[in-house]
Amino acid sequence: MLRDLAETFRPVAPPQLIDNAYSNDQHSRLLNVVRDNGPWPLILAENFKTPEEVIATTSGAIPEGVTLTWDMIGLNPVFRGYLARGGTCFYPEIEDCYYNSRFLELVRNYWGCQYAEPETFLFNIQGPTPIGGPPHLDGTVFRGMTMENTPLWLLLTMAKSRLFDRWRSKKGQVIAWYYNGRIGGGFNCWPDGPSGQAMQINAPMWGKAVVVENEMMFHHGQATGPVAQRKPQGMDISTTFGADPENPTGWQLATSGKINQKVAEQDMRFLVHWGARLFKDMADFRQTYDHSDDIGADQAINMLIADMKTRGVQFVEPTDPLHDNSFVALLSQVYDIGGPSNIPADAMDEAA
């Protein structure tokens, strides 16, 4: 039954490709913000407190009796920072990038909605890396439950269960890439559901972007850069990515003050993720902002518990469900919807 649910994850419209997402000047200012305000944490460190929370957001199960550690998860060297959230841009020098009339029009047209508001502005940055984990879904939000008041693992579990569609917000993204490397670095996605063929957006990707609904479409990044450099040694959950003080265009990974890897400008992949919430009409907007039909964490947890009981799942009800690793692990198993198995071949370097 849950495997069938996976096939319902399709974006509201096919992804739309655009070029020149940001002007040369905007790209330069965005990159300067990243260089001047780093170093930046791993995506896992930014979004999750425990390994169990990671599993709850992907498709997978934890074997009975196994206690997870970060080493068991596998630390992919991809790093993240936030440039804006809600109505606030954190860096005035890139406000025109966030309050972006072109992007607002693109997502309104994509959804067929009257209104849109910028919601999220973040970036991923990396050097050579393995493929970006199993295909996954981005964290959606619900009326009353957002990333500001709800753990990402719970938002994604709610989305995968499809029990909460009544409250699910309409979201759209413009995701742009800057990568001139010769090996990999592209983007795979499954707009026709996980059993459909993968759509590939391949490098070089200088200013190429996609207008899409990533919360309802499985996707991941392709492997990037020379194979021998994709797994830097000595990383842990505290590893960061920032500007190389010895090279005005270079970057470096560091852990507890020790350099794990130097990354040349050519091998750096920079992803800029702009996201908005959409409103079909004024009634839709008012329903969100007058909070007349919100859902909260207690109601969501109770609905998940009731659904598991209906399914015959045996478990002890947690006293602190938002911080109970065993309960988080249980949810990840019960609501494991799987994902695409037809993943395109990994990009290898020319010497391999």
* C-alpha closest to that of 2 among 155, 162, 142: 162
Mean of the pLDDT values across residues 255-271?
96
Give a yes or no: residue 151 inside a domain: yes
Residue 349 within a domain: no
Q: Range with the lowest mean pLDDT among 60-64, 102-106, 275-279, 324-328?
A: 60-64
Q: Which domain holds residue 318?
A: 2-334
Lowest average pLDDT, out of 63-67, 76-80, 216-220, goes to 63-67
Q: Tell me, yes or no, whether 352 lies in a domain.
A: no
Rounded average pLDDT over 1-12: 85
pLDDT in tens, 31-51: 999 999 999 999 988 756 555
Mean pLDDT confidence for 91-96: 98
What whole-number distance in Å separates Cα of residue 226 and Cα of residue 92? 36
CA distance 204 to 298: 46
For residue 284, is it within any domain? yes
Task: For tokens 């009634």, name the residue.
Answer: 283
For CA atoms 22, 251, 133, 352, give the dihedral sign: positive
- What is the pLDDT at residue 298? 96
Report whether pLDDT(296) > 70. yes
Rounded to whole angstroms, how far apart are CA atoms 221 and 214? 13
Reported as a pLDDT band with limits 50, 70 and 90, residue 308 is: very high
Evaluate if residue 352 carries a pLDDT over 50: no
What single-letter amino acid sits at 62?
I
Within a domain: 344: no
For residue 204, say if its preceding peptide bond is cis, omega within 30 degrees of 0: yes
Q: How confident is the model at residue 350 (pLDDT cuts 50, 70, 90)?
A: low
Kindly state whether residue 176 falls inside one of the protein's structural domains: yes
Q: What pLDDT sits at residue 248?
A: 94
290, burial (CB in 10 Å: exposed 0-12, middle 13-18, buried 19+): exposed
* pLDDT for the residue numbered 72: 45
Query: What's the confidence (pLDDT) of residue 46?
Result: 73
CATH number of the domain bearing residue 307: 2.60.120.620
How many CB atoms within 10 Å of residue 21?
25
Contacts of 236 by beta carbon, 8 Å cutoff, 6+ apart: 70, 75, 255
Is 64 part of any domain?
A: yes
Q: Domain total for the chain?
A: 1
Classify burial at 24, counting beta carbons within 10 Å of its beta carbon; exposed 0-12, middle 13-18, buried 19 or more.
exposed
pLDDT of residue 345: 87
Say what the pLDDT of residue 71 is: 57
Could you tell me which residue, 147 or 20, shows the higher pLDDT?
20
Tens of pLDDT, residues 140-196: 999 999 988 999 899 999 999 999 999 999 999 999 999 999 899 999 999 999 999
**pLDDT tens string 223-248:** 999 999 999 999 999 999 999 999 99
Average model confidence (pLDDT) for the chain? 91
Residue with tokens 């908005």: 276
> Is residue 132 a part of any domain in this protein?
yes
Mean pLDDT is lowest, of 11-15, 49-53, 105-109, for: 49-53
pLDDT of residue 44: 84
Provide mean pLDDT across the span 251-268: 96
**Where does the pLDDT of residue 4 fall: very low under 50, low under 70, confident under 90, or very high at 90 and above?**
confident
Q: What is the pLDDT of residue 48?
A: 61
Q: What does pTM read for this prediction?
A: 0.89
| pLDDT tens-digit map of 108-136 | 999 999 999 999 999 999 999 999 888 99
